[in-house]
Amino acid sequence: MLKELLKEYKIILASGSPRRQQFFKDLDLDFEIRMKDIEEIYPPTLKAAEITNFLAELKANAFSNELSQNEILITSDTIVWQNEKALGKPKNYDDAFQILKSLSNATHEVITSVCFKTMHSSETIHEITRVTFSELSDNAIHYYLKNYEPFDKAGAYGIQEWIGLIGIAKIEGSYSNVVGLPTERVYNYLTDKFIFNT
């Protein structure tokens, strides 16, 4: 549906995440992938969605003055937020283990920001999902890390993987947001902004 409705536009996804790329395919969108190496550093005073907003916009701004008419650039960033601290991608195995230990038997927030940038405008939205893990044994954490190697994922886990099946006790909000993209919000934004308001 979106593919036909947005046929006058060219969608550019600036993400190497296979999960986000798959979501765009599942949304039936024609899109092109364009990547830039960005040093994802943010001011230490930022908190929660301020961090993901900043990073999504940082990624988008790298394409300033490069977009053509009718191109829509989409960038995004996801963090896990727990106890007033951002948990990004783990640095190594030990870091991933400690992250999952901190998430065990506790509730955290998964925050994703998505920036939509065109030649003439830029707007950022974000989504917050609360996720509660049951208690994870050390053996379960080691099994997951050794077999699934979630070192490219914020919070050191993928909810769609084994750890999500055995460890997630409760989700409040968007499931797809925890995977890496709030698909409902993206779909509605593209529909409202570029179809019904044109």
| Residues known to be catalytic | 77
DSSP H or E run through 99: helix 93-103
- For residues 46 and 31, what is the distance between their CA atoms, to the nearest angstrom? 32
- For residues 24 and 1, what is the distance between their CA atoms, to the nearest angstrom? 12
CB atoms within 10 A of CB 30: 14
> Torsion angle of alpha carbons 74, 2, 10, 60, nearest 10°?
-10
Cβ-defined contacts of 46-50 (< 8 Å, 24+): 47/84, 48/81, 48/86, 48/109, 48/111, 48/128, 49/111, 49/113, 49/126, 49/128
**Inter-axis angle of helices 18-26 and 183-191, nearest 10:** 50
- For residues 127 and 171, what is the distance between their CA atoms, to the nearest angstrom? 13
